[in-house]
A and B are shown apart, each in its own frame.
Chain A
Amino acid sequence: MKGKSALIWLGLAGVAGAVLFQTSYEVQGREETLASLNRKIVAEQEAIQVLKAEWSYLNNPSRLETQAAAHLSLRPTDARQFVASAEVIPLRPAPAPEAAPLPPMAGLTPAQPLPSGAYTPAAFKPAPAQPAPAAAEPTAKTAPKVQPAVTKPQPLQPPPRPVATPASVKQAPAAPPKTDTLGIMIARLGGNR
């Protein structure tokens, strides 16, 4: 009897020990995973820091200004372009039925012709919805005036704009490869001291 209970206790102790060791090794394994994850997180954070710096470098106002001048036909806003409220804006007369599709926005070529009259301010009036040709009848006299509110003396089909190809990207010293903006940044900001 005595021997049996001793055996049971011994067995229990053995099982407890085994479970303890098992748990311990599992914890060690997880800690290793944690450590490697931590290392990865730090590496990613460093990479994010680098990307942030690169982003800020590429968003430098001087660079943006040059880029905007080269690729956009937008200009800085002027005081006279601001109005106090929407009511001050004169509504554009509804276009005549034969009115051509809206001139493209400056510097943009619309892929397909826009439905005529659909985008004029007149179409947004709370007046009863009317088909465009019917609405145009009373204003037929004003038809010749149909012009965009703001026009630019620009050809409707602008010459194909230079597309930024890797070849046209300005190159700092030949050292860093083209796509290595950070390398260019370092080279430009004084290099490796």
Chain B
Amino acid sequence: MTDSTLNGYESLSAVYAAAPTVSKPRSSLAVALEQSRNRLMVTAAVVALAFTAIAGKLVDATLLRNGAEEPHQTAAEAAASPVGRADIVDRNGNLLATSLATASLHADPKVMIDPKDAAKKLVAVLPDLDYKEVLEKFSSDKRFVWIKRNLTPRQQYQVHRLGLPGLYFEREERRFYPAGKLTSHVIGYTGIDNNGLAGLEQHFDKRLRNDPQPLQLSLDLRLQHILKKEISAAIEEFRAIGAAGMIYDVKTGEVMAMVSLPDFDPQDPTGLDQDTLFNRATLGVFEMGSTFKIFNTAMALESGKVRLTDSFDASHGIQIGRFTINDYHSMHRALTVAEIFQHSSNIGSVRMALAAGVPTQRAFMQKMGFMRPTSLELPENGWPLVPNPWREINAMTISFGHGISVSPMHTVAAAASMINGGIMHPPTLIKRNPDAEIPGERVLSPQTSDIMRRLIRLVVAEGTAKGAAVPGYVVGGKTGTAEKQKGRHYVKNARMSSFLGAFPMHDPKYIVYVLIDEPKATAKTYGFATGGWVAAPTAGRIIKQIGPLLGVQPVDENSPDIRYAVDINLNGTIPVRGSTVASVPPPARTN
């Protein structure tokens, strides 16, 4: 660097080169320039940043759609149910209960242009509406009025076609029961918000809400229909006040049909009396009468203290205090175990029970499940009425089915274990998985069960229940007639007549149970209204119709194989194979 002064002709580089290393104070102009340049830079940066942010946001909003509504990425499932509550179907897949999406019509009167015209048009399409009422609703000051709930799709279309302003639809769900009254007590019903209020609808309420898979029941709609038809006919014939019926699979514990009459329309269960809503088959506990002799006989034989060949004196009534136990069909002589069962002898049953012992009887009845409600999936599941303490007098009356009240479901489930080889399966209304093992518990030896089958067959073949016989189906059964207790007394002419039938007895598959509440005798039954006259023929008619449906193969009842499998001699011996002589029924005695 030189200190020579500038002459004005140096090249520019020389000027800069010659610039002093020590900076001179800058002029005010340079400072202003510098400052404005900096400001411009900052402004440009800020603007650029803002534009970048806007661009970023723009890309985000248009391409990535962040913050916008979530895109529908899943297709509607083909199998999914469009409604909120699962269907209930029978064992063959027939619909018993389903939910349908319906439209409910409401209006906003403020938007209506001409309420009179609108009301007129609407009533023309929906004739069950009242013109005046609709007009009143349309002329009101409200912003929301219900016009009609649950329109059918066709009605909705017609209303929609009117094109009236101010009318709106709201999607609602409605529970439908295509089978109507047929399954009313089993399925139950739902309330206006589709929550289960009775029957299976109540018991499986959560399941039906959460799992869209249909709930498959063990019921068979066809059997249900036949059962209901026949017991309604019996009610009419005998002017009874009610009835219950059941068809039960003895090998799986499935209830295949269950009817309680009078029944109701599950679509509209309002304003019904308790008697109609009452499920006689499960909630009702009754003294079962002679049907209980099935359990009494099995108990006595199983205890080992009574043998099949024993006989008991049944010539005189048994006096206890001021009561006398008598026989309805008295024989006035000693009877064998088979004869006691055949003629339904109360006296003989009492003697058998006493021979077996009171604690044995109590323990056996407990094993039969008569001390607690059954495992059936219904909220209407009755508690049995059992004596406490269980004294000798109780044991005596229980031997012929009085002094203990159980539901028909109890009786049927326990009777199934008496004839299916001795296994007690918990009764169910849900179809069992055919591959899964059926739960069960042995309550009776196979030998005793075999004897019970023969005894039960004897009652239909030559006992009190001949009316239940159906050629080809080898029916067996036991009648029961119990006088009803009203207040503290038994009433003579108010009975519960029942019949518990099973078929085919050489290989029992199904139980048909019929219970008629307060039947009145008719001329056709010669003034009788007992189980043998009222319930047994009804059960016979039912078996005749359901046998072919259930695929039970009819057999020749007199073929040696069948006779060998189901016959029993009255003296308590079991006929030997091949000897048809021993199994020929003795000449009919006069009662």
A contacts, CB < 8 Å to B = 20-21, 24, 27-28, 31, 34-35, 37-38, 41-42, 45-47, 49-50, 52-57, 59-62, 65, 76-80, 82, 84, 173-177, 180, 182-183, 185-186, 188-193
Q: Which 7 residue pairs of A and B lie closest in terms of their CB atoms, listed nearest first?
A: A79-B472, A190-B268, A61-B225, A56-B178, A190-B267, A56-B95, A189-B267
Find out whether the CB atom of B155 lies under 8 angstroms from the CB atom of A183.
yes
Complex: how many Å from CA A12 to CA B470?
92
Complex: how many Å from CA A120 to CA B31?
125
Find the A residue at minimum CB distance from B556: A84
Find out whether the CB atom of B267 lies under 8 angstroms from the CB atom of A49.
no
Find out whether the CB atom of A49 lies under 8 angstroms from the CB atom of B98.
yes
Complex: how many Å from CA A117 to CA B448?
57
- Tell me the residues in window 426-482 of chain B with beta carbons closer than 8 Å to chain A beta carbons: 470-473
| B484 CB–A CB distance under 8 Å | no
Complex: how many Å from CA A46 to CA B98?
11
Question: A45-B81, A76-B548 known; A182 and B150 CB under 8 Å?
Answer: no
Complex: how many Å from CA A31 to CA B65?
13
Contact of A82 among B154, B224, B554 (CB under 8 A): B554
Question: A38-B76, A182-B153 known; A60 and B178 CB under 8 Å?
Answer: yes
| B62 CB–A CB distance under 8 Å | yes
A69 to chain B, nearest CB (A): 12
| B265 CB–A CB distance under 8 Å | yes
A23 to chain B, nearest CB (A): 8
Complex: how many Å from CA A38 to CA B94?
28
Find out whether the CB atom of A52 lies under 8 angstroms from the CB atom of B98.
yes
Find out whether the CB atom of B152 lies under 8 angstroms from the CB atom of A180.
yes
- Tell me the residues in window 60-115 of chain B with beta carbons closer than 8 Å to chain A beta carbons: 62-63, 65, 71-72, 75-76, 78, 80-83, 94-95, 98-101
Contact of B182 among A54, A62, A193 (CB under 8 A): A62
Find out whether the CB atom of B152 lies under 8 angstroms from the CB atom of A38.
no
| B22 CB–A CB distance under 8 Å | no
Question: A45-B81, A50-B153 known; A34 and B72 CB under 8 Å?
Answer: yes
Find the B residue at minimum CB distance from A58: B178
Which among B176, B192, B225 has the highest number of chain A CB atoms within 10 Å?
Answer: B176
Complex: how many Å from CA A64 to CA B320?
56
| Cβ contacts A to B, 15 pairs, < 8 Å | A45-B76, A53-B176, A53-B178, A54-B178, A60-B178, A61-B221, A80-B471, A82-B548, A174-B127, A180-B154, A182-B153, A183-B152, A189-B176, A191-B268, A192-B150
B473 to chain A, nearest CB (A): 6
Question: A56-B178, A62-B225, A82-B548 known; A38 and B268 CB under 8 Å?
Answer: no
Find the A residue at minimum CB distance from B77: A41
| B128 CB–A CB distance under 8 Å | yes
> Please, which residues of chain A bring their CB within 8 A of the CB of B148?
192
Complex: how many Å from CA A78 to CA B543?
11
Find the A residue at minimum CB distance from B472: A79
Question: A31-B71, A34-B72, A80-B472 known; A49 and B178 CB under 8 Å?
Answer: no
| B149 CB–A CB distance under 8 Å | yes
Complex: how many Å from CA A109 to CA B93?
35
| B286 CB–A CB distance under 8 Å | no
B contacts, CB < 8 Å to A = 62-63, 65, 71-72, 75-76, 78, 80-83, 94-95, 98-101, 126-128, 148-155, 176-180, 182, 192, 221-222, 224-226, 229, 265, 267-268, 470-473, 544-545, 547-548, 553-554
Find out whether the CB atom of A45 lies under 8 angstroms from the CB atom of B152.
no
Question: A193-B192, A193-B268 known; A53 and B100 CB under 8 Å?
Answer: yes
A178 to chain B, nearest CB (A): 11
Complex: how many Å from CA A80 to CA B470?
11
> Please, which residues of chain A bring their CB within 8 A of the CB of B83?
46, 49
> Please, which residues of chain B bring their CB within 8 A of the CB of A76?
545, 548
Find out whether the CB atom of B63 lies under 8 angstroms from the CB atom of A49.
no
Find out whether the CB atom of B152 lies under 8 angstroms from the CB atom of A176.
yes
Find out whether the CB atom of B178 lies under 8 angstroms from the CB atom of A185.
yes
Find out whether the CB atom of B471 lies under 8 angstroms from the CB atom of A42.
no
Complex: how many Å from CA A53 to CA B547?
29
Complex: how many Å from CA A6 to CA B326?
118
Which among B62, B76, B544 has the highest number of chain A CB atoms within 10 Å?
Answer: B76
Complex: how many Å from CA A185 to CA B268?
13
Complex: how many Å from CA A174 to CA B151?
16
> Please, which residues of chain A bring their CB within 8 A of the CB of B151?
192
> Please, which residues of chain B bring their CB within 8 A of the CB of A174?
127
Find out whether the CB atom of A49 lies under 8 angstroms from the CB atom of B553.
no
Find out whether the CB atom of B94 lies under 8 angstroms from the CB atom of A192.
no
Complex: how many Å from CA A179 to CA B547?
37
In the complex, besides A38-B76, A61-B224, A182-B154, 8 extra interface pairs with C-beta distance below 8 angstroms are A20-B63, A45-B82, A53-B95, A78-B548, A79-B470, A79-B473, A176-B155, A189-B176
A49 to chain B, nearest CB (A): 6
Find out whether the CB atom of B76 lies under 8 angstroms from the CB atom of A41.
yes
> Please, which residues of chain A bring their CB within 8 A of the CB of B473?
79
Complex: how many Å from CA A185 to CA B192?
18
> Please, which residues of chain B bring their CB within 8 A of the CB of A62?
182, 225, 229
Find out whether the CB atom of A186 lies under 8 angstroms from the CB atom of B180.
no
Find out whether the CB atom of A49 lies under 8 angstroms from the CB atom of B82.
yes
Complex: how many Å from CA A65 to CA B545?
13
A45 to chain B, nearest CB (A): 4
Find the A residue at minimum CB distance from B178: A56
A20 to chain B, nearest CB (A): 6
> Please, which residues of chain B bring their CB within 8 A of the CB of A49?
81-83, 98-101
Which among B63, B78, B182 has the highest number of chain A CB atoms within 10 Å?
Answer: B63
Question: A57-B178, A186-B152, A193-B149 known; A82 and B553 CB under 8 Å?
Answer: yes
> Please, which residues of chain A bring their CB within 8 A of the CB of B471?
79-80
A34 to chain B, nearest CB (A): 6
Contact of A45 among B71, B80, B182 (CB under 8 A): B80
Find the B residue at minimum CB distance from A45: B82
> Please, which residues of chain A bring their CB within 8 A of the CB of B100?
46, 49-50, 53
Find out whether the CB atom of B152 lies under 8 angstroms from the CB atom of A35.
no
Find out whether the CB atom of A189 lies under 8 angstroms from the CB atom of B177.
yes
Complex: how many Å from CA A185 to CA B62?
51
> Please, which residues of chain B bring their CB within 8 A of the CB of A53?
95, 98, 100, 176, 178
Complex: how many Å from CA A27 to CA B73?
11
A94 to chain B, nearest CB (A): 30
Complex: how many Å from CA A54 to CA B180?
12
> Please, which residues of chain A bring their CB within 8 A of the CB of B178?
53-54, 56-57, 60, 185
Complex: how many Å from CA A58 to CA B128?
24
A173 to chain B, nearest CB (A): 8
A42 to chain B, nearest CB (A): 5
> Please, which residues of chain B bring their CB within 8 A of the CB of A185?
176, 178
> Please, which residues of chain A bring their CB within 8 A of the CB of B78?
41
Find out whether the CB atom of A42 lies under 8 angstroms from the CB atom of B127.
no
> Please, which residues of chain A bring their CB within 8 A of the CB of B63?
20-21, 24
Contact of B548 among A37, A55, A59, A77 (CB under 8 A): A77
Find out whether the CB atom of A60 lies under 8 angstroms from the CB atom of B152.
no
Question: A56-B178, A79-B548 known; A34 and B553 CB under 8 Å?
Answer: no
Find out whether the CB atom of A176 lies under 8 angstroms from the CB atom of B72.
no
Complex: how many Å from CA A62 to CA B76?
37
